[in-house]
Structure 1
């Protein structure tokens, strides 16, 4: 049986497809599993032993469709469910099963602060698309495979190489990120050294945080590559992070995770830490929350209470225990 799984974006959503691919490969005898995504997200499936071939979205949809037709698939598992995947399924004529996004319920939940979405993790929602093949949840975490043989002594100062907390301070949108002063307050009360992780967009934030605290905090934001950042997360004692891709990737290594939520909420997205034994999911109930599905560039009401009002002690006590 030859199966094509499709998910184009984004980092977190693609990370949560990995249990589907693993279960297909391991539970269907002789299955050949291919995965189609955007070139920007190729790294998520690089080195993944459960994918027989990785297809990348071409410059034109017609070119992608021709490549799919040439592979002669038995099934398409559509985990994206958008216009492009609908066109692919229509023009290839391949039998398919499609992830149900529940857009109306999500819109009503966001607009009117209703709880219309059942608290089912995105992985389990994805897995519903393959139950017709007899595939079941294997109860294992997400998969992520580090690409290179990194060494801590090449990435961190000596003071941080034995035991450290990885604090993922980056996120695509402002309303997902904790303010610098709150991060500083938390880091000052942690019993282990802290490594700050994120992209170039939060390097200046990391410099401010490290400058305010001193030698116990090392700012690796904007310095380490994504693969190096994943490696550092995998070797950390524990992780603090927001609703962002690197925090979700960290779930593959089953380390204690403090998952901090501001303007977005895990119940709406279904992306709280998956199959991680030791987890703190923290956020505050407010009439204005969630203010968006994926995050905004500023707090619509100007107060940003969803981050400022999160109790520091909950995070500190969880990490220090």
Structure 2
């Protein structure tokens, strides 16, 4: 049996496909499992022992369709379910099973502030697409494999190499990020050394936070590769982070995670920490929250209470707890 699993984007959504691939491979041991995604997300499946082959989306969809036809798959498991995957399924004629997105329910939940979407994790929603093959949830975390064994001594100062908090301060959209002054206020109450993680886009933010706090913080934003950042997260005593890819990747290592949410909510997307033994979802209940499904460039009402009203002691208390 030969099976193709498809998910094109984004980082977090693809991370949550890894249990599906693992369950397919371990529960159907004679099956050959392939995965199709965009080239930008190739790294998520690098070194994954449960995947037999990784296919990358071509610039022309017709080229990808030709490649799929040439492989001779028995089934397509469509975990994206958009126009492009619909065309692939139609033109290849391969038997398929698809993830149900529930777009109308999600839209109504967002616009009417109603809880019309079951609070079921995205992994569970994905796994429904392979139920027909007799595949079930194995109850294990997501998979992510660090590409190299990095040296903490080369990445961090001596004061921050042991029992540190990894604080992921980056996120794609403004309403997913906490303002600098709020992060500073929280970090002042954290007793462990803190490593700030994020891309070049939040390097200046990290510098401002580190300058305000002093020696307890090391700003690694824009200073490490993604693989190095994942390695640092894997070695952290605890992880604090917003709704962003690196925070979700951290779940693979089963370290305690404080998952901080602003304008978005985990239950709508089904992306709360998965199979993590010590996880806390941190956010405040507001009549205006959620304001969007994926995040916005500014608070629609201008007050940004969803982040500003989160009690400092809740976040710092999680970080300090032994």
- Asked if 1:220 is matched to 2:220, the reply is yes
Secondary structure of 2:140's match? coil
- TM normalised by structure 1 equals 0.99
Partner residue in 1 for 2:108: 108
Q: CA-to-partner distance for each residue in 1:26-66, whole Å, 9 max, x for gaps? A: 00131100000000000000000011000000010000000
RMSD over aligned Cα atoms: 0.5
Q: Distance in 2 between matches of 1:32 and 1:215?
A: 51
Q: Structure 2: give runs of 5+ residues left out of the alignment.
A: none
**Matched pairs, number:** 321
Partner residue in 2 for 1:239: 239
User: 1:118-129 to 2 correspondence within 5 Å?
Assistant: 118-129=118-129
Q: Structure 1: give runs of 5+ residues left out of the alignment.
A: none
Q: CA-to-partner distance for each residue in 1:253-308, whole Å, 9 max, x for gaps? A: 00000000000000101000000000110111111110000000100100000000
Partner residue in 1 for 2:306: 306
Q: CA-to-partner distance for each residue in 1:237-266, whole Å, 9 max, x for gaps? A: 000000000000000000000000000000
Q: Distance in 2 between matches of 1:186 and 1:131?
A: 44
Secondary structure of 1:222's match? coil
Q: Distance in 2 between matches of 1:197 and 1:66?
A: 41
Q: Distance in 1 between matches of 2:184 and 2:317?
A: 16
User: 1:151-170 to 2 correspondence within 5 Å?
Assistant: 151-170=151-170
Partner residue in 1 for 2:193: 193
Secondary structure of 1:3's match? strand
Partner residue in 2 for 1:30: 30
Partner residue in 2 for 1:57: 57
Secondary structure of 2:277's match? coil
Q: Distance in 2 between matches of 1:132 and 1:238?
A: 38
Q: CA-to-partner distance for each residue in 1:138-176, whole Å, 9 max, x for gaps? A: 000000000112110110001001120000000000000
- TM normalised by structure 2 equals 0.99
